[in-house]
Structure formats: structure tokens, C-alpha cells
């Protein structure tokens, strides 16, 4: 995750259908050059050769998918054909990125090209600059779970057929954006292991304010992810790739959101990434008493009798009923049971987010009791369960989390911090 080597211009993998977008791809290749980069053109078209000579032939893309171009063309319809090309393009891009053959990706398309682009972009790791120039940028046609958390998307205005001043401006800006992103992309050398943590902002959940200095004193770097959909997806992607030495996954509201059908979802695989990679997990049920919804869209049907917290004009939350909270507890148990690494489940029995304290909008002791009862039965035998007589935002909870981490370090389950100056006690 570093910038291109000194003296070498950024290499941009430029993907498009040469058969139908030759003029646009030629202009993009030239624009990348003007911005100081080098374009590596991959042709994902199937209808013909076009007027641009690509660096990566469509036959190579088809072969990567395990078929011939003729098989792609004879597959039955354009949807099936493009899915085959998407598979090949994604596999090639993923392998070539590992090999260091390009630094960023720029993909051009309408609905067909955008569908392919999302597969390619999702095959690349977080931090690799990826820009999609699309006629349906930010459209509700694109399901949130298919959008990479660090994707740059730009509207390809006025460019559906042929070049004009409007689409040239969009093409040139896209080329400049991805080249600039590659040049600016850098990660400082840091030997400290990274602890991945989730939270819902810093008002509903605030434990990181206590944990950050304590973790840094132990020689760790802390990365906190906002669990409002994309944040959870980024967290899961990195956890699945083994980026973290340990995770403190304390905000599970995205699990609730997904079960309730909320648009604020990280997808159906939330709480599975770290476990699949064997990364040690300290887990707590933060904010599992609420369902997020778009504030401007109104409270979802079926929650009319539940309390509502309006966070801002974009985001609001409604209380989860007792049946839903029990369902969440069972889901958490099922997902933790799949973990290949150590799991500790911390259960703060006095509350799981700031607004559920006595007098708060979400205060529901019966609902909290229902969750705690169900999770006690649903927790897998492979997980260690600690009930903490505290609220999740209290100092006692932070101390409990650090106690688990310190024990795992002593047992060799988590890499020790670098240049740690001794375990620092949490102070309020």
C-alpha cells in the first residue's frame, strides 16, 4: 500500500468495451498520459475489435474466466456474456495487483460496464485507487452491498454515445482523479500491529476514547470504523484479509439493520470476516437495540410504536422490538460459531449504547434482558463469555476489554505491541 516507485509514472488499468467505446477509451488513455500516468487498456467488449488497440485482449479476459471468446459470444444473451467477462476481468485485476503490475483502476461504462466494474473493484483491496465513470453513478439501481467502501464514482454526463465537450470534461477529470490518487497514496512505515474497532459515532458509543490511549501505550495502532454500512464493509474486508492483529467489534448495529431490512447495511456477511481469517475477536453487542433508517424517508413500517432518535437530517434510529433483539442474539451466536480463531463475548449488562441509559430515549431494560437471556443460550461453546456489570461506555467495560487482550498476548494468541511502554491503566 505505497505510492508507485520513484521515477515510474502510475500505471492505470483502464477497462472498457473497445468495440463500442473506442473514442472514449482513446481519449482516456491520452488523458491519463497528460496527467503523468500510463494506461494499461483492457478490452472487455465482445462484439468486435473497435478502433483502439488494447494492451489486454478480450480473448485474454475470456480465457481468465475459463472460456473462449466464442463461448462468451454464444452464451445466450448480453447479460450472461458480460458476467463471464466480469469474472475474467476481476480475476486478472486481482492477480495483477498482487504482482504490482498497476497502481489504480479506471473503468468506463453504462449499466453493463458498471455491473462489470463493480465486480472488478470488489476484487481489489481497500486502498487501491478505483474509479468508475458511469452513466448511473449514485443511482438506486446499484445495491449498497455491491459498492466497494473506497470506490470513487463519477457521473459520465452526456457521454452515452460519442465525444462532446461535456463528456470530455468528465473523462479528463476522471483520469486526473485516479492518477492523482495513485501519486498521493502512501502509508507511513509503522511496525505497530493494528487493532480494528467498530463504533457508532462517538456519542452513542464512546469506549474508544478510553481504549485508544491504552492501546497505543501497549504498542498498537487503533483503526475505528463507523458502522453505518460502508464502514462495516471496510472493516469486514480488512478483517477477512488478515489486516488486523485483533478486532474489538463492539458495534453490531449493522447486523440488526440487515435483519430488519434497513438500507444502512454492511451486507449479510457482517461479523464473519475476522472469524474466517482466524483473527482473534473481542465482541460486544453495542447498539443492537436500534434499527437505523434514512431520516428523510420516515420511520419504516412495523416500528410505529417504538421510540425514535433523530440523529440528524440523514440518519435516525428506531428501537428494536424484543423479538428482533432475540433474533439478533441468535444470529450473533451463529456467526461467532463459525470463527476459526479465539472469540470472547463481552456482555455489558447495564446498557449497550448511550441513549439506553435510564431517562434516555432507548431505555428498555426488558429488551436488554431479553437480549442477554437469548445470547446466553446462543453463544457457541467455543467462545468465552464475560458478563460485565457496567454500561458499554463505562470505564469498567474498557478495562474488561483490555484484560482480555492482555491475556491473549500473554498466551501468544495476539502479537504483542511494538515498543510498548507497559500496560497503561484506563483513566476516566
pLDDT for 4 beyond 80: no
Place of cell 470463527: 339
pLDDT for 315 beyond 70: yes
Q: Verify that 303 and 276 share a domain, yes or no.
A: yes
Compute the average pLDDT of residues 312-324.
91
Compute the average pLDDT of residues 339-346.
98
Total number of domains in the chain: 2
Compute the average pLDDT of residues 395-418.
97
Mean pLDDT across the chain, nearest whole number?
92
Q: Give the separation between CA 94 and CA 16, rounded to whole angstroms.
A: 17
Sheet holding 194-199, edge to edge: 221-226, 194-199, 246-251, 281-286, 343-348, 384-388
Instruction: Give the pLDDT confidence score for residue 161 in this predicted structure.
Output: 79
* Model confidence, pTM: 0.84
Instruction: Give the pLDDT confidence score for residue 5 in this predicted structure.
Output: 62
CATH number for the domain spanning 216: value is 3.40.50.12030
pLDDT for 203 beyond 60: yes
Higher pLDDT among residues 162 and 348, named by residue? 348
pLDDT for 427 beyond 60: no
CATH number for the domain spanning 35: value is 3.40.50.12020
End-of-domain residue from the set 161, 184, 207 = 184
Supply the DSSP symbol for 19: T
φ and ψ at 74, to 5 degrees?
-95, 10
Residue 47 pLDDT grade (very low, low, confident, very high; cuts 50, 70, 90): confident
The end-to-end CA distance of the chain, in Å, is: 36
Torsion angle, CA of 328/275/195/3, rounded to 10 degrees? -120
Residue at 324 is within a domain: yes
Residue 213 pLDDT grade (very low, low, confident, very high; cuts 50, 70, 90): very high
Instruction: Give the pLDDT confidence score for residue 190 in this predicted structure.
Output: 84
Q: Verify that 220 and 97 share a domain, yes or no.
A: no
Using an 8 Å Cβ cutoff, are 241 and 277 in contact?
A: yes
- Render 276-323 in DSSP notation, one character per residue: HHT--EEEEEETTTEEEEEGGG-PPTT-TTS-EEE-SSSEEEEEPPHH
Q: What percent of the chain has pLDDT over 90?
A: 76
Give the range of the structural domain holding residue 32, as residue numbers without chain letter: 11-184
Q: Verify that 88 and 149 share a domain, yes or no.
A: yes
End-of-domain residue from the set 184, 211, 239 = 184
Amino acid at each position: 500500500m505505497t505510492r508507485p516507485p520513484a521515477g515510474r509514472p502510475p500505471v492505470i488499468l483502464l477497462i472498457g468495451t473497445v468495440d463500442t467505446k473506442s473514442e472514449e477509451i482513446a481519449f482516456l488513455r491520452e488523458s491519463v498520459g497528460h496527467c503523468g500516468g500510463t494506461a494499461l487498456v483492457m478490452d472487455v467488449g465482445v462484439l468486435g475489435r473497435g478502433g483502439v488497440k488494447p494492451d489486454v485482449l478480450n480473448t485474454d479476459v475470456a480465457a481468465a474466466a475459463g472460456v473462449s471468446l466464442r463461448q462468451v459470444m454464444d452464451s445466450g444473451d448480453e447479460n450472461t456474456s458480460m458476467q463471464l467477462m466480469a469474472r475474467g476481468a476481476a480475476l486478472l485485476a486481482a492477480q495483477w495487483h498482487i504482482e504490482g503490475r498497476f497502481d489504480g483502476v479506471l473503468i468506463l461504462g453504462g449499466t453493463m460496464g458498471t455491473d462489470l466494474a463493480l465486480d472488478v473493484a470488489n476484487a481489489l483491496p481497500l486502498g487501491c485507487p478505483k474509479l468508475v465513470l458511469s452513466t448511473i453513478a449514485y443511482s438506486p439501481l446499484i445495491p449498497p452491498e455491491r459498492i466497494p467502501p473506497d470506490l470513487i464514482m463519477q457521473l459520465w454526463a452526456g457521454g452515452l454515445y460519442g465525444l462532446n465537450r461535456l463528456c470530455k470534461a468528465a473523462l479528463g477529470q476522471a483520469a486526473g482523479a485516479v492518477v492523482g490518487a495513485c501519486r498521493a497514496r502512501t502509508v507511513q512505515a509503522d511496525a505497530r500491529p493494528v487493532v480494528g474497532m467498530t463504533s457508532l459515532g462517538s456519542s452513542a458509543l464512546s469506549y474508544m476514547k478510553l481504549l485508544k490511549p491504552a492501546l497505543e501505550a501497549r504498542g498498537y495502532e487503533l483503526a475505528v470504523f463507523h458502522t453505518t454500512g460502508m464502514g462495516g464493509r471496510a472493516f469486514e474486508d480488512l478483517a477477512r484479509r488478515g489486516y488486523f492483529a485483533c478486532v474489538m467489534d463492539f458495534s453490531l448495529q449493522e447486523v440488526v439493520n440487515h435483519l430488519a431490512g434497513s438500507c444502512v447495511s454492511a451486507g449479510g456477511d457482517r461479523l464473519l470476516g475476522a472469524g474466517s481469517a482466524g483473527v482473534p475477536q473481542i465482541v460486544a453487542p453495542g447498539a443492537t437495540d436500534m434499527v437505523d433508517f434514512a431520516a428523510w424517508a420516515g420511520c419504516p413500517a412495523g416500528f410505529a410504536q417504538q421510540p425514535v432518535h433523530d440523529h440528524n437530517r440523514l440518519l435516525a434510529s428506531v428501537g428494536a422490538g424484543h423479538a428482533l433483539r432475540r433474533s439478533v442474539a441468535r444470529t450473533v451466536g451463529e456467526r461467532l460459531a463459525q470463527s476459526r480463531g479465539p472469540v470472547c463475548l463481552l456482555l455489558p449488562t447495564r446498557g449497550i449504547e448511550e441513549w439506553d441509559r435510564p431517562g434516555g430515549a432507548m431505555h428498555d431494560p426488558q429488551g436488554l434482558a431479553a437480549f442477554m437471556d437469548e445470547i446466553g443460550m446462543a453463544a457457541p461453546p467455543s467462545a468465552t463469555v464475560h458478563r460485565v456489570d457496567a454500561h458499554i461506555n463505562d470505564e469498567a467495560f474498557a478495562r474488561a476489554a483490555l484484560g482480555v487482550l492482555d491475556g491473549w498476548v500473554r498466551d501468544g494468541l495476539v502479537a504483542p505491541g511494538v515498543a510498548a511502554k507497559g500496560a497503561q491503566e484506563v483513566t476516566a
